[in-house]
Amino acid sequence: MQSKGLIKFLVVVVSIACLYSLSFTFVTRKVERDAAEYAKGDMAKEKAYLDSIAGEEVYNLGLAKFTYREAKAHELALGLDLKGGMNVTMEISLDELIRNLANNPKDENFNKALESALQKSKSVNRGVVELFVEEYKASGAGTPLATFFATTDNASLIKGTSSDNEVRSFLNKEADNAIENSFKVLRTRIDKFGVASPNIQIQQGTNRILIELPGVNDEERVRNLLQGSAKLEFYETHDNYQVYPLLENLNNILANSLKSATPSASTPATVSNDSTATDSTTKANDDNLLANLGAAPKDSTDTAGISAELAASNPLFAVLNPATYMEQNGQPNLTPGAMVGIANLKDTARVNEYLNRPEVKANIPGNLKFLWSVKPEQRTPNFLSLYAIKTSGPENGPVLTGDVITDARDDFNEKNQPVVSMSMNTEGARQWRRITAQAAQNNNAAVAIVLDGVVYSAPGVNEEIPNGNSSISGNFTIEDTKDLANVLKAGRLPATAKIVEEAIVGPSLGQAAIDAGVNSSVIALIVVMIFMVAYYNRAGIAANIAVLFNVFFLMGILASLNAVLTLPGIAGIVLTMGTAVDANVLIYERIREELGLGKSIRQAIADGYKNAMPSILDSQITTFLVGLVLFFFGSGPILGFATTLMIGIITSLFTSIFISRLIFEYMLSKDWKISVSFPWSANTLKNANFQFIKKRKVFYGISIIASIIALVAIFTKGFTLGVDFSGGRTYTVAYEQAVNLEDVRQNLDEVFGLTTEVKTFGSENQVRVTTTYHVEETSDEADAEVLAKLNEGLSKIDGNGYEILSSQKVGPSIATDIKDRAIWSGIFSVLIIAGYILVRFHKWQYSIGAAISTIHDAIILLGLFSILDGIVPFSLDIDQHFVAAILTVIAYSVNDTVVVFDRLREYLNKPLAHKEYFGDTVNSAINSTLSRTIITSLTIIFVLAVLFVFGGEVIRGFSFAILIGIVVGTYSSIFLAAPSVYDLRKGKSVVEEKPEKVKVVTP
């Protein structure tokens, strides 16, 4: 074995890297167990505990130290279906954006075209902008489209003489900006909400944003937070010199107020500070409070404890450091500007609590309010700045709002430093001139840029700006200027973001999913390991060690990628355990063949690995390609399954080929006896000689009849579509006792006034309810009405309490989009696989043979789901999980097929192969790989049976689809794929018949 040392080195390096990645999960789980033990079931107390230590060091690796927040960012996070929480898809209202860009015209053709485009976008997979331009042109309107958009605000972007294509480009660019701006705003709002391990991403090619919020249990607050319009405002500010005396007074008021109260156990006794303040903070009796508190922290890792005495006498300053700097003489002084303090992230809630106490608020002037910065500065990563904002007018509002901005962009000044350029309309420029003139005269006072109640920037004003064109500079990075430009653009013609899909999973369902996933994983691993040893003797031990390494590497890589582990992801891990042995099975079967030729064990092992390599690579690459399709076309949990599947293929290849080989090399060096079978398994299917080609027409007939029955069922009975394909709302409900489905259905039908789908979901006391009531409406009012009617119907079951465990809402537009993506993913999978086989085998007949096999499998599986729906006691809905299952079946079927094709190619490349009867060659290829095909299929069937029984109700239909699909795929790879190649190639490159006298046909 060449490069043995390099492989050992790689194994060690990858193992260390995976252990490092997984270690963060171990650390955070320990911290969270401590928090749970401390809180004893009180969730508010547990959250407060975790918040209090967010900035505390919990993991020390010597050269690197990590706070709980930092460790949490590196852990292998659990998805919604495992942890509970909320999954939301936001849709940006591009029709509203288009109207705003055109100043809401009253033109009939314009509004009809836009309305028609909006309706069509719900049924076709195309954007609103493209459809709007087409509909307007089709309306025959005489007014050029550019006329509507060549407004004063858009003067620099579009002209009255612009063509329709230029208008289309302009609208597409503005739509992209609106989506990007909404993404920035939503991300900031979620960060403020304080969700652990949130996931927010733009769904590429759409006007939708996917948001996952694990652990969230205040759904109404999330809806209000996400659906509120972005509110950009400009405020004048107070200077730190003016505000510091007030903060001292507030600090004294708090000290007196708290002195008579019983000290809270959670009152902080320490505050983070920088090293320059260390000496001064120890002088608790110094009369100069500013000297005691020192300068604002420069490095969050440098801390100095403030004494309990100082914390008691100065409660506000114990959690809020005044904004100071150190003069040359070593004395602290107040920093000029609008920033008045800085606090550790974990202490901001305490600062807010103090500032909102009635006795404190009564002493804060009406034109002053305190706002936090949007994020920590780079020099103080664990600290937020507090700004003193000056309110204006009778309503104590801003001096200017964001709707006056016409454009904003990230730029560079003459010194090549990142800046933000901002332009305003005429009215904005007039007000901006007055504001900046006043600020410049007031010692270059700052103007704060505030979005959603947080300060994004508070630049000082150097001079009056007369024309509304401003340049904002500061200690910015390029990313900072991009973010600030997006924030400024978010205030211009905002497009509303509304919830079009929503899924809520309760913690109880999440824990059940975790238990099911863990149980199925452990049992599947044990089953695989027992089978490998039982069938392959000592070689099975080597395979088992490789499988254990595979699972370890897979989990470590998932953690390093900050992947979110979902229940389908666990299914992917379980499936990977089954497919991981496929490469070993291919290798071991080849070793057995080489031993049958009389070779020594050392030579048989070397040749077995060498000869099995083409089949291993081809079979795994085809599965990987399907994983790629799932990754790009899937969403939510399907992404987790695809990610796990692809990583699992890579790790299984590495472990099966290299680690198992290292084990064999070690055993050979020790002269240990190596066996690849027991006496009972040594001759299994050895020298098999089934006449597949001779009897192929029988199997063609069986497949045709089965396909016809399946197609009849598909087109007559049809399917039950999941909510993500049909739209509507689905709820999982657990009653205290077993419940009659018909009673529940009848009660809900009466309440909703239409047919409601009710199914048993797992146990007899748990049901899944799906309704299309108000399917076209996604407002909060509609949600509340549906929920009220649901509760009304559910409560009619007397003497049987219930709990709604989870809910999911999908709007009709997104359901159509998901369906389209599912169809395209299936088409692309077949085309990509066929293309790969064509490249690898250089014969179109192989591609067609594989396509026939996969299409056959898909039809049979769809037909079975249609026929068995409503008969079997679990859900067989057609949804995204089913799409993932059917594509996995296609991948597996092709995996099997490619192994046969590889052996066929090997036989055809042998000397004098062209003189052999082609039917015999195909028969030999199928028979020689039959043992591997059946053993691999049995292994995966064992694993999937475990997943089906123990994996939980949530993925039972998913695992059933793959389980049945593997059986069908194994059948088609043996009886259809290779025989199809025989019929397609017959008479073209080999002996076409088997006559008495062989006739050679030139290739």
Residues 510-522: pLDDT tens digits?
A: 677 778 878 888 8
Q: ∠ at Cα 447 (446, 451), nearest 5°?
A: 135
- Indicate the pLDDT class of residue 303, thresholds 50, 70 and 90: very low
Question: Phi, psi (5° rounding) for residue 869?
Answer: -60, 125
What would the two tokens of residue 971 be? Answer: 């059948």
Under 8 Å between Cβ of 241 and 290: no
What residue has token string 């009056």?
464
Widest CA span in the chain: 116
Q: Hey, which bits of 526-599 come out as E strands?
A: 564-565
The full DSSP string for 851-905 is HHHHHHHHHHHHHHHHHHTTTSSS---BSHHHHHHHHHHHHHHHHHHHHHHHHHH
Can you give the pLDDT at residue 473?
A: 78
Give the whole-angstrom CA distance, residue 729 versus residue 723. Answer: 7
Higher pLDDT, 913 or 851: 851
Ranking 262-266, 315-319, 430-434, 935-939 by mean pLDDT, the lowest is 262-266
Closest to 781 (Cα-Cα) out of 499, 484, 410, 437: 499
If pLDDT is split at 50, 70 and 90, which confidence band does 118 have? confident
Please return the burial class of 494, using the count of CB atoms within 10 Å of its CB with bins 0-12, 13-18 and 19+.
buried
- What pLDDT, on the 0 to 100 scale, is given for residue 764? 81
| Contact between residue 58 and residue 67 where contact means Cβ atoms under 8 Å apart | yes
The span from the CA of 283 to the CA of 306, in Å, is: 10
* Closest C-alpha among 180, 161, 177, 170 to residue 102: 170
Q: How many CB atoms lie within 10 A of CB 104?
A: 12
Torsion of Cα atoms, 133 then 134 then 136 then 142, to 10°: 100
Q: Which tens digits make up the pLDDT trace of 766-777?
A: 888 888 888 777
Taking the mean position of all CA atoms in its chain, how far away is CA 994? 57
Q: Which candidate, 948, 978, 988, 951, places its Cα nearest to that of 964? A: 948
Domain residues of the chain, as ranges? 4-75, 92-210, 233-490, 506-671+690-716+817-985, 728-810
What confidence score (pLDDT) does residue 699 get? 94
Q: How confident is the model at residue 874 (pLDDT cuts 50, 70, 90)?
A: confident
Per CATH, which fold does 728-810 belong to? Alpha-Beta Plaits (3.30.70)
pLDDT in tens, 739-786: 888 888 888 988 888 878 887 777 788 888 888 888 777 677 788 888
969 vs 406, more confident: 969
Tens of pLDDT, residues 583-611: 888 888 889 888 888 899 889 999 989 88
- The residues, any chain, with a CB within 8 Å of residue 965's CB and separated by 6 or more, are 857, 861, 885, 886, 888, 889, 892, 893
Torsion of CA 966, 968, 971, 976, to 10 degrees: -120
User: Which residue has better confidence, 901 or 998?
Assistant: 901
The mean pLDDT of 199-215, rounded to a whole number, is: 78
For range 523-546, the mean pLDDT: 88
Per-residue tokens: 921 = 């060659």
Give the pLDDT score at 494.
Answer: 55
Task: Give, in degrees to the nearest 5, the angle at Cα 460 between 456 and 466.
Answer: 105
Residues 6+ apart with CB under 8 A from 366: 391, 396
Four-point Cα dihedral 913, 918, 923, 924, nearest 10: 0
Rounded alpha-carbon distances, angstroms, from residue 147 to 41, 137, 160, 166, 577: 63, 14, 5, 12, 62
Q: How far apart are CA 748 and CA 771, in angstroms?
A: 9
Could you count the other beta carbons within 10 Å of the beta carbon of residue 145?
24
Least Cα distance to 857 among 717, 706, 960 occurs for: 706
What's the pLDDT score for residue 273?
32
Q: Is the dihedral of CA 81, 82, 85, 89 positive or negative?
A: negative
> What is d(CA 425, CA 56) in angstroms, rounded to the nearest whole number?
47
Distance of CA 758 to the CA centre of its chain: 30
**Helical residues (DSSP H) of 59-127, grouped into ranges:** 68-74, 80-83, 94-101, 108-121
| Predicted pLDDT of residue 972 | 92
* pLDDT > 90 fraction of the chain, expressed in percent and rounded: 11
Does the pLDDT at position 465 exceed 50?
Answer: yes
